[in-house]
Structure 1
Amino acid sequence: MGTTFHGPSPWPHITRAIRTRGARHAAIGYLGQDAPDLLPLRAGDLLVVNASKAAIRAHATSPAALTYYVNKGVRVLSSPTLHAKVIATNTRAVIGSANASENSTLADDAVVITDDPDVIASVRAFIDSLDELTEVDEVFLDDAIREWEIGRAVPLPGVTGRVRTGTDFLPAPVSRMFVKHAVDYQPTPTEEHVLDQHRSRQRTTAGPAAKYQVESLRLDTPSSVKRGDVIVFVSVDDAWIHPPAVVVSDPMKIPRSGGAVLYFLRIRTDLPPLPFTEAEKVLADLGHPGSRLRTDHYVRSPSLRTALLGLWNL
C-alpha cells in the first residue's frame, strides 16, 4: 500500500482503511452523532475523544455516539485537551484533520494513510502517552446527556462549521422517512423497565423544561427501520398527524414477545400535532396530492420529505 494522501473528502478512505483485524487505537478530537458509521470500532478497541463539558455543551461531541461505542465494548476515554485525529491499526496509521462527524464530511479535510511500521508505532505511542484521561462509563454518560440537553450548538473553529438551530435533533440530510399509523398498546413490564432506564438519563432536577423527550416504538414484525430514520405518525382515525420522531437506538429484542422489537424515539415536545385534513391540503397545494398519508409507507420522494418537515417549519 505504501503512503497515500486523501482529501478533501477522506472519510470513505479512512473507514475502509481501518477495517482490519486486531485492536484499533484512535484519538479523535470530536464525535458527531453519526460517528459510528464513519468510525466502525468494535469490542477491544480504544477510543480517546474530547468529551469535556465544553465539548458536550457545544454539541461538538455527541453522548449518543459515546453510548454506542461503550455499549459495543470499546474502551472510551475522555481527554479535555485532545485536538488530534489519528488512528493506528496493526497494519496502518491514519493521520489528518478529520473529526468523526457530519461537519467533517462537509468540510475540506485531509489525511495521510500509511503502512509504515515506524509511523504506526509512533501513533500508538502518542495515544498511549495522552494524560488527564477520564473513563467514559455509565456515570460519565449520564452527566454528558445532561450537559448536552442544557447546552446548545455553537460554532467551534474547525469543528462545528455548520450550525443548525431548531432542527438539531434531525439527521442532515433526512434521507430516510416513514409514515406510520400510531397504535396504542400497553407496554410489558420489561419494556417499561428498559424505557424508564433510558428516560432517567434525560431527567434533571432543576432548570427549564426539557425540549426533547424519549418515547418507544414497538414493532411486532421485522422492519427496515434503523437508527437515524425519521418517522411521522398519523393517528389511527386519521384525525391528527404528529411531528417527526427520530429513531435513536438499534432494535432491541423484547423477551417472550414472539420476535417483537423495541426502538427508542426522540421527539420535540414543543411541536404540536396538526389536523390531518389540513396537512393533506397543505401538501396537495405544494404539489403532493398523492401523499399517501392514510397508509403506512416509506417516503421515497425527497420533495415530499421536505414538505412534511415543512409542516412544522423544520
Structure 2
Amino acid sequence: MKAHATSPAALAHYLNKGVRVLSCPTLHAKVIATTTRAVIGSANASENSTLADDGVVITDDPEIIASVRKFIDALTEITEVDQVFLDGAIREWEIGRAVPLPGITGRIRPEADFLPAPVTRMFVKHAVDYEPTPTEKLVLDRQRGRHATGGPAVKYQLDSLRLEKPGTVRRGDVIVFVSADDQWLYPPAVVTSDAMRVPRSGGAVLHFLRTRTDLPALPLTDAAKALTGLGHPGSRLRTDHYVRSPSLRAALLGLWEL
C-alpha cells in the first residue's frame, strides 16, 4: 500500500463482489483461488500493473487449484481484509507519498509530485457550488482527516466534485475549474478517488480532489490572452470540455509554472 503497488480501491472492489481477501506481510506472490480457477502471477491489484510488463497464469487444473488453496491456508500472520483494514490502507494511500518495499517497484510520490506524470487527461469545468448532504460531509471530513496525517498540510488540501450522474472523470484526471461567472480560472485539481455513489441522491457521485493552496486563481480574460499568445486562440475556457491537445494541456499548466 505504501509503495502504491496495491490499490485499496481494487481490494474494496473485490470485497464488494463477495471475494474473501487476505493479507500477509511476508507474501510477495500474487495468487487467487476460485472454485474453478487458480491465478498465479506478478500483477498487483493496481493501475501500475496495467502499465508494467506483468504476467499471470490462469489455469483450471484441479491439482494446481488445490495446491494454491493449500499454499494460502499454510500462510502465517494472515489478516482478513475488511473495512477496518481498508480504512488504514486508504489513509496510507492518500498521504501522497510512498516508501519502497523489497521486490516491489512502486510509484514513489515525493512532496513535489503534485500532478500525474505525464498529464494525459484534463478537463475544463465550471465550478458549481452546492451544499453537501450530511452523509457527504461525514465522508469528506473523514477523508480530510486522513490527508492531515503528515505531509505539507498548508500546501495541499482536499476538495470534492459532485456529479449528478457518473461521467468520464476518473482517478488521476486533472481538472481546471472556471468560476460560475466566467471571471476566474482556478489552478489545477487532481482527482484522487474513484467515483463514490452519494446515498439517496438519485444517482449522484462524488470524487475527491487534491489542490495546492499556494497557487492563485487567475483572471479568465488574462489567462485566455496568455494562451492566445502561446498559440492557442481557441482555448474555449468558457466552455466545459475535455482538453484533447497535449500542447494546450501543457500551456494551461504553464500558467501556474507547473
Q: Does 1:131 align with 2:76?
A: yes
Q: How does 1:45-84 map to 2 (within 5 A)?
A: 56-84=1-29
Q: Distance in 1 between matches of 2:129 and 2:44?
A: 41
The answer to whether the 8 Å contact 1:214/1:264 transfers is: no
Amino acid at match of 2:237: L
Q: Does 1:94 align with 2:35?
A: no
TM-score (norm 1): 0.66
Q: Which residue of the other structure, out of 168, 174, 183, is the alignment partner of 1:230? A: 174
The answer to whether the 8 Å contact 1:240/1:273 transfers is: no
Go from structure 1 to structure 2 and tell me whether the alpha carbon gap of 1:250 and 1:166 turns closer, same or farther (over 3 Å shift).
same
**Displacement of 1:313:** 4.8
SS in 1 for 2:210: strand
**Displacement of 1:98:** 2.4
Q: Distance in 1 between matches of 2:36 and 2:154?
A: 46
Q: Does 1:140 align with 2:82?
A: no
How many corresponding residue pairs? 255
**Displacement of 1:246:** 0.6
Match of residue 210 from structure 2: 267
The answer to whether the 8 Å contact 1:217/1:264 transfers is: yes
**Displacement of 1:294:** 0.8
**Displacement of 1:211:** 5.4
Go from structure 1 to structure 2 and tell me whether the alpha carbon gap of 1:121 and 1:160 turns closer, same or farther (over 3 Å shift).
same
Amino acid at match of 1:142: D
Q: How does 1:154-193 map to 2 (within 5 A)?
A: 154-156=99-101, 158-160=103-105, 163-165=108-110, 174-193=119-138
Go from structure 1 to structure 2 and tell me whether the alpha carbon gap of 1:201 and 1:188 turns closer, same or farther (over 3 Å shift).
same
Q: Which residue of the other structure, out of 243, 251, 257, is the alignment partner of 1:299? A: 243
Q: Distance in 2 between matches of 1:147 and 1:248?
A: 14
SS in 2 for 1:60: coil
Match of residue 14 from structure 1: none
Q: Which runs of 5+ in 1 are unaligned?
A: 1-55
The answer to whether the 8 Å contact 1:57/1:152 transfers is: yes
Deviations 1:123-145 (A, max 9, x none): 22212222201223333333334
The answer to whether the 8 Å contact 1:180/1:295 transfers is: yes
Q: Which runs of 5+ in 2 are unaligned?
A: none
Q: Distance in 2 between matches of 1:219 and 1:107?
A: 32
SS in 2 for 1:183: coil
- Larger mean CA deviation between 209-218 and 233-242 belongs to 209-218
Taking only the aligned residue pairs, the percentage that are identical comes to 68
SS in 2 for 1:127: helix
Q: Which residue of the other structure, out of 176, 180, 194, is the alignment partner of 1:249? A: 194
Q: Does 1:104 align with 2:37?
A: no
Go from structure 1 to structure 2 and tell me whether the alpha carbon gap of 1:169 and 1:117 turns closer, same or farther (over 3 Å shift).
farther
Go from structure 1 to structure 2 and tell me whether the alpha carbon gap of 1:162 and 1:190 turns closer, same or farther (over 3 Å shift).
closer
TM-score (norm 2): 0.78
Go from structure 1 to structure 2 and tell me whether the alpha carbon gap of 1:199 and 1:294 turns closer, same or farther (over 3 Å shift).
same
Q: Distance in 2 between matches of 1:168 and 1:67?
A: 26
Q: Distance in 1 between matches of 2:154 and 2:88?
A: 15
Go from structure 1 to structure 2 and tell me whether the alpha carbon gap of 1:247 and 1:150 turns closer, same or farther (over 3 Å shift).
closer
Q: Does 1:289 align with 2:233?
A: yes
Q: Which residue of the other structure, out of 55, 58, 72, is the alignment partner of 1:113? A: 58
Match of residue 252 from structure 2: 308
The answer to whether the 8 Å contact 1:92/1:113 transfers is: yes
Q: Distance in 1 between matches of 2:91 and 2:215?
A: 24
Go from structure 1 to structure 2 and tell me whether the alpha carbon gap of 1:88 and 1:161 turns closer, same or farther (over 3 Å shift).
same
The answer to whether the 8 Å contact 1:215/1:266 transfers is: yes
